[in-house]
């Protein structure tokens, strides 16, 4: 399956499936609500993997973000989709997949006017090895500590994806 025929699951406000649409056509200035996921990958030392989106990405090219994101295929269990996408995007196998923000949802518009509008459960996972990212997805990557990541996001929020900024805010509030 190629990017052009990859389907995303359209959902209502409660997350109930409404149908599907081709991924290549769903992200626009009027993006319908759809299902996605986001994952924060940690290594054995507790560092978190951050990635810089490839400069060829349709949305938020070149910004730093969490380890990876994706869309489950219609009927695909979300945990299976997370593991599949980790291999496709980062060449990375995962274990210890844990939901950390199961109800996360956001809507954001990038500088080109393209909208992301997602119900996007967030997971934490442990990396089995080092990443070998696809250059179509990632142009840079770095292991960092959670504290250094939070400091960088506060210092230069424009350099990071809006979903990462929102996730970090919600995770910080959840830990209070």
Q: Return the active site residues.
A: 69, 118
Cα 142 to Cα 154: distance, rounded to the nearest angstrom? 18
Q: Output the DSSP codes for 46-74.
A: S-EEEEEE-TT-SSSTT-EESSEEE-PPT
Determine how many CB atoms are found less than 10 A away from the CB of residue 135. 9
Handedness of CA 117, 31, 57, 68 (dihedral sign): positive
Cα 66 to Cα 38: distance, rounded to the nearest angstrom? 8
Beta bridge partners of 22: 7
- Would you mind telling me the total number of residues written for the chain in this entry? 176
Element (H, E) at 151: helix 146-155
- Distances from the Cα of 139 to the Cαs of 2, 22, 25, 53, 87, in angstroms? 20, 25, 24, 6, 16
């Amino acid at each position: 399956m190629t990017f052009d025929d990859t389907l995303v699951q359209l959902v209502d406000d409660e997350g109930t499936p409404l149908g599907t649409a081709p991924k290549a056509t769903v992200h626009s200035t009027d993006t319908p609500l759809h299902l996605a996921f986001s994952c924060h990958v940690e290594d054995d030392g507790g560092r978190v993997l951050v990635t810089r989106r490839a400069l060829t990405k349709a949305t938020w090219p070149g910004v730093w973000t969490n380890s990876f994101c994706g869309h489950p295929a219609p009927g695909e269990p979300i945990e299976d989709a997370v593991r599949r996408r980790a291999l496709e995007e980062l060449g990375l196998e995962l274990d210890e997949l844990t939901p950390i923000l199961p109800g996360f949802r956001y809507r954001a518009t990038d500088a080109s006017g393209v909208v992301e509008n997602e119900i996007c459960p967030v997971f934490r996972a442990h990396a089995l090895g080092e990443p070998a990212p696809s250059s179509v997805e990632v142009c840079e990557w770095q292991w960092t500590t959670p504290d250094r990541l939070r400091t960088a996001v506060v210092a230069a929020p424009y350099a990071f994806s809006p979903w990462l900024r929102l996730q970090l805010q919600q995770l910080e509030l959840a830990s209070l």
